[in-house]
Structure 1
């Protein structure tokens, strides 16, 4: 990889791009997508399939985009993502049925599937000695965009309608597209396509899958706890606090992982995630639900702030490694609500907690060099 001059200005550009990328993409789906689909006359089953379209895209595209960035460079791929962020929202105007809306969601999903792993790989390339810290800042910038998007989109829909939301999403994409031209070029580490499977990378991916099983399970089923039913504002507030905690904590725990190594934070974070799931499974009061949400958000932040940097350290192909990690994460995110839906709230959350602890145990005892906690 060729060396490039970097400074705080480059980091700020990446953080701003990350904020607008996730702000626009989240505004297009939360709460816009189900409401817009309903306005087109789609049923609940069709709405569910349309909503899943972009997630399924991510499962396949994350890995491919990371690999392509190792071959053709990060900036080229990020420019492509920026163009999709710009153009995809405008295609909503052409939709009039479930199939056309699903195709737009698949196309939109390509943007996020490229941007997330490749932008993190870019940060890892530019700041190898502080990658945990600065990956934490990038994650926080995207979380801020994710937190603001539903309130902003919902208010615009209420007062001005869907069209203004779609135009605004396109404008945020224009900002991202313009900023990608300011990104330095890194990557281009492969002359041809190749990927050597890494068992350690799969173990790291299982940890992220467990975290996002839990995250999507909480987001989906929190409003259905009996003491939160008919209190949508309260469940929304808890979820907002959860995201806010992650946004604040991630840079600090990223810095911590740069100082003490990746394994100790992963051990602490995944233990907290597992305990949080058992709290949700056994909860019989609002105070326990709040405790579980806080415990999960802190634990997830600690773990994820170390898993991403660690993935770039166990593979020389940083883009491919992060893309693979995102694909495994998306599988977990898709499975979380399904498992809880079939098993029930108590059994489902407990199952995810057990899965998280078992994944941690497998990671600690099956990974190469497991005797050292400093790596």
Structure 2
């Protein structure tokens, strides 16, 4: 099988996996938790449980994948995509649901950084374009999941929705098995003669080494800043729209515009980063996100908000495609998994912090003040990224 066919197959795996995952997560999860007796606080814990798994595991799992078989670890994640959805319909308590969400979170905690590392290893020259195409495929699945999930919940109920998610997860597992042998494997592989304590010691050293890499940290923080802005919009754009007399249907259209623009732009922005370099593009993407976010609460007409949603989606695409490729560029073959794990962990932190921070700021300052301050965070992240990476360029020239 040619590399192109393997790559297309792997993109299909990513798409199907996130269709399955988001079928469960949006919009079925919160009302399902309520049907089990969860109050608002418990619903928040249920929704956040899988993100917490990512925060805790993406970096160490990424580092582990540099030492053991990355393909086998991803096979474990595919089982985590396919298996848990079949268990949701038989749950009867919120506590067990939270536990299942933690287990289900293993899917993205393992698969996301390892998939990016695999794609980056497959295309060392055209890295930005390849990562752009792959992340577009995964995002396409993440967009399709909630659309299909909403229809299934309305027409078939929770049990049907979760069962369909499980079957799509199994389809993703089947596709993964088809392309498994053709995927690029990391150079280091697990030897049964090595003690697990030795492997874990090397994982710890790999994590420490990545955390000392300031340019990788800066790129990951750029992603986290973008995710803070994204989380702010997810939580408070609908409320702002209602406050100015628009509808939630119009809010859905705005989120769709944002997602479609990001989906379409990622391959193009990845290819552009291959030609122009990653460093100039990431601050541009952050400034687009920040500028769009700052202007949104000053607009009351739907047509202007549509343009701002498109602008935010474009900025999101620029940051995501360029930062993943930059981290792969900065990594060596022995720690690319750890680099992607660092990015994923810090991104998840930003995603979790965004709605919480925005909630406090909206309560204190209103929409204009809150969105303005979080916009300033994008500018600060862009400046920090430029300073750190410029210093790295000077150090390389000096040596």
Q: Normalising by the residue count of structure 1, what TM-score does the alignment of the two structures yield?
A: 0.94
1:159 alignment counterpart = 155
1:220 alignment counterpart = 235
Equivalent position SS for 1:161: helix
| Structure (1/2) with the larger helix percentage | 2
Choose the corresponding residue for 2:375, options 350, 353, 360.
353
2:188 alignment counterpart = 189
Residue 283 (str. 1) matches residue 299 (str. 2): yes
Matched residues in 1 for 2:223 and 2:67: separation?
Answer: 25
Residue 211 (str. 1) matches residue 216 (str. 2): no
2:308 alignment counterpart = 292
Matched residues in 2 for 1:108 and 1:233: separation?
Answer: 30
- Please show how residues 84-233 of structure 1 align to structure 2 within 5 Å: 84-181=80-177, 182-183=179-180, 184-189=183-188, 192-193=202-203, 194-195=205-206, 196=209, 197-225=212-240, 226=242, 231-233=247-249
* Structure 1 gap segments, 5+ residues each: none
Deviation at 1:366, TM superposition (A): 2.2
- Please show how residues 32-111 of structure 1 align to structure 2 within 5 Å: 32-111=28-107
Residue 260 (str. 1) matches residue 276 (str. 2): yes
RMSD: 1.9
Deviation at 1:124, TM superposition (A): 0.5
Choose the corresponding residue for 1:364, options 368, 381, 386.
386
For the Cα contact (< 8 Å) 1:69–1:77, is it kept in 2?
A: yes
For the Cα contact (< 8 Å) 2:219–2:385, is it kept in 1?
A: yes
For the Cα contact (< 8 Å) 1:123–1:134, is it kept in 2?
A: yes
For the Cα contact (< 8 Å) 1:213–1:335, is it kept in 2?
A: yes
Matched residues in 2 for 1:228 and 1:42: separation?
Answer: 31
Equivalent position SS for 1:96: coil
Matched residues in 2 for 1:230 and 1:248: separation?
Answer: 27
Q: Normalising by the residue count of structure 2, what TM-score does the alignment of the two structures yield?
A: 0.88
Deviation at 1:176, TM superposition (A): 2.0
Partner deviation per Cα, 1:102-141 (whole Å, 9 max, x = no partner): 1111111110111111111100011111111111111111
Equivalent position SS for 1:160: helix
Equivalent position SS for 2:392: coil
Q: How many residues align?
A: 369
For the Cα contact (< 8 Å) 1:75–1:180, is it kept in 2?
A: no
For the Cα contact (< 8 Å) 2:133–2:267, is it kept in 1?
A: yes
Equivalent position SS for 1:28: helix
For the Cα contact (< 8 Å) 1:6–1:126, is it kept in 2?
A: no
